Structure 1
Amino acid sequence: MPDSIAKPAAPFSYTYSANLPELLLRLKCSLVISTYQSGKVIIFSAKDANSLVQLPRTFDKPMGMALSGHRLAIANRQEVIVTANASGLAPHYPDKPHTYDALYIPRATYYTGEVDIHDLKWVGDKLLAVNTAFSCLSVIDEDYSFRPVWKPPFISALKPEDRCHLNGLALANGKPAYVTALGSGDSPQSWRTDMLKGGILMGVDSSELILDRLPVPHSPRVVNGRLLLLLSATGELVEVDKAKGSYEVITRFRGFVRGMEQFGDYLFIGLSRLRPGSTLFTEAPIAKSANHCGIAIVHLPTGKQVAELVYTATVEELYDVGVLPGQLRPNILNTNKNYHTLAVVTPQEVFWRQPETPANPS
């Protein structure tokens, strides 16, 4: 009798640690990730103390995400979409009433063109983007495709040439403080010549180099006064000592690390599998063990990984990871269908309008 053939995993299948649903319930939050490879923004919530539920929404190459109060901004291929939580509408969502406690609805779209936005942050009421194509930090608003506000001192001109692959931004006290890039060259895509060990960490105010020779740095973050950083090519979470110009490894992972958010005593860190055929896949120190895509949860006081979520199908690469505090079952709408046009929100009231029935031809 021939051996049975294993069926492929269902799309977006995943596994997770038994303690993860309970952890999200205890923290009273949900997780949101962006995967440009799969073209989705995905929310994970605890259905109960033993199970999770995921809600994927289609966006065009979603990358960095920025949360401030009730607003969630998402950088896409050619635009930045700002959504806002209309919590009063959530319980009456037509497809699943009495299910959701938050509902992010598109409110504004900024047409940036293809500037390859990576990290995205709210700085007060302004959206600050890491503009990778033009090697600068940019404000996103309604006047221009972008408004450049800072560039590394070694960049001589703002051209769409991805000269240093500027990619990460950390805020401190609500202001831009640190950036990461994969190189420090001033010619088109010069960072590719030494990608695995040419990365840098810089201060924004000082424009001074803090660390160099880094193995593909991403996602700098200031957490409780500590400057943390992900080194993607080695799969490491590290803490930077600015005075010494050095770093210490906190923990290592089985994936290409990128995307990090802190909530309470925990860090939520994105893991990606490496693409076959890429330089990283064949030469990076993490190449042989980068077989996980999902989210790793680290207990920050001890530096130990305490839980994880791992995709087994469809999703291979993540860019960003965020936390939606106080929301146990949030929902988000895109602009691909007409649901967001039926939602009407005023400062006083909320309404779900009924779709109009097309008139019969005469």
Structure 2
Amino acid sequence: MSTPPPFSCTYSSGFAAVLHQLNLSLALSTYQAGKVILISPNDVQSIIQLPRSFGKAMGLALRADQMAIATLDEVILLRNSPDLARHYPKKPGVYDALYLPRATFFTGPLDIHDLEWGHDGLYAVNTSFSCICRIDDQYNFTPVWQPPFISKIAAEDRCHLNGMAMHSGRPAYVTAFGTGDTPRSWRPAVTTNGVVMDVGTGQIISRDLAMPHSPRLYPEGLFVLLSARGTLLQIEPASGAQTEIFQYPGFLRGLDRYGDYLFIGVSRIRPTSKTFSQIDDRFKAAPAGILVVHLPTGQLVGQLSYQTSVEEIYDIKVLPGLRRPNIMSTNTEEHKLGLATPTATYWAVPKT
């Protein structure tokens, strides 16, 4: 039997149909494969993938035509140029968007997880230093908040701070795997000691959670993925009341929304991982991929599953209105040939 090609996947008819119907593409990050993958509708029945190399890609942030990608030790800023996309020399007239690198922040190894733009800059969950920070060109990072139980900013991953929900341009809620104040104190009870915290008050609004990730604040309330239980949870911040919206036998991480549809990432648990060894076997076997959930009914309406290359997904972002986006990384020289000014764009001819 022949080996399937890289990034082989299967998907339901509903998955392609939803992307086509909603007129959108998806961007997902996989740090295990070191890629950002764009997934687009080819037609109502099929999709197109475009993987690009970004070392240990994790948090993704979108704002208008900008994209930011957290990698192993950098945050890379990209900007979409529809005009450069239309005139892309290798495939003119094919792409409706092209995200090109425009700047790189050399952060160092911060283990950045969630990444979001706010009113006053680019915010990152700095997991290594147990804080929320801003990323800019002044310092490697500027701490702006830390949990009250963290006594010192140190590269010790004390509580595995990982997720961040924004409200009115500011970090509003965060997720962590524990409340300890010593190096990697969260590991012994990784599946039972997770918390959701209110950034404004410093209070814990929900505790004893199973590896919470990807908090998102929507009009209906605060949504959180309990990764180790395959659960999408809705939390009422004022009371801490919890409502289970959806459950799936897999490790859920990465969440975005468009209209009534939620896009949720699934990761395959590494059998050799000590961190994940405490997770119930029921949630370890599912292949990596993407779930599409209809929020009003809580029903699974579409699914993509990877057969090769991708085992872990960290983040998912919706690219609304884009049917065939392209993206370039800094790993090749090609991105340097796309030139944009405020009034014009040019494709330079490579030197021979």
TM score, norm. by length of structure 2: 0.97
Tell me which amino acid in the other structure corresponds to 1:348.
T
Give the structure 1 partner of residue 346 of structure 2. Answer: 351
Tell me which amino acid in the other structure corresponds to 1:203.
D
Shift of residue 19 of structure 1? 2.2
1:9 aligns with 2:14: no
1:18 aligns with 2:13: yes
- Show CA shifts across 1:98-118 (max 9, x none): 110000000110000000000
Give the structure 1 partner of residue 320 of structure 2. Answer: 325
Does the 8 Å CA contact 2:21/2:44 hold for their aligned counterparts? Answer: no
Give the 5 Å matches for 1:38-49. Answer: 38-49=33-44
Does the 8 Å CA contact 2:229/2:283 hold for their aligned counterparts? Answer: no
1:242 aligns with 2:227: no
Give the structure 2 partner of residue 3 of structure 1. Answer: none
Give the structure 1 partner of residue 292 of structure 2. Answer: 297
Shift of residue 286 of structure 1? 5.3
Shift of residue 287 of structure 1? 4.1
CA distance in 2, matches of 1:226, 1:288: 26
Tell me which amino acid in the other structure corresponds to 1:324.
L
Q: 2:141 aligns with which of 133, 138, 146?
A: 146
What is the CA RMSD across the aligned residues, in angstroms?
1.2
Q: 1:215 aligns with which of 210, 220, 224?
A: 210
Q: Kindly, what percent of the aligned residue pairs are identical?
A: 50
Tell me which amino acid in the other structure corresponds to 2:24.
C
Give the structure 1 partner of residue 267 of structure 2. Answer: 272
Give the structure 2 partner of residue 360 of structure 1. Answer: none
Shift of residue 216 of structure 1? 0.4
Tell me which amino acid in the other structure corresponds to 1:200.
V
Tell me which amino acid in the other structure corresponds to 2:305.
V
CA distance in 2, matches of 1:286, 1:120: 30
More divergent stretch after superposition (97-106 vs 272-281):
272-281
Give the structure 2 partner of residue 203 of structure 1. Answer: 198
Q: 2:246 aligns with which of 251, 257, 275?
A: 251
Tell me which amino acid in the other structure corresponds to 2:142.
R
| Structure ID, larger Rg | 1
TM score, norm. by length of structure 1: 0.95
Give the 5 Å matches for 1:180-195. Answer: 180-195=175-190
Q: Which runs of 5+ in 1 are unaligned?
A: 1-5, 358-362
Does the 8 Å CA contact 1:274/1:287 hold for their aligned counterparts? Answer: no
In the TM superposition, structure 1's runs of 4+ consecutive aligned residues that sit over 3 Å from their partners are: 279-282, 286-290
Shift of residue 11 of structure 1? 1.3
| Alignment size in residue pairs | 352
1:73 aligns with 2:74: no
- Show CA shifts across 1:278-328 (max 9, x none): 246543135455422100001011111110110011110000001111111
More divergent stretch after superposition (64-73 vs 22-31):
22-31
- Secondary structure, in 3 states, of the residue corresponding to 2:264? strand
Does the 8 Å CA contact 2:187/2:275 hold for their aligned counterparts? Answer: no
Tell me which amino acid in the other structure corresponds to 1:255.
G
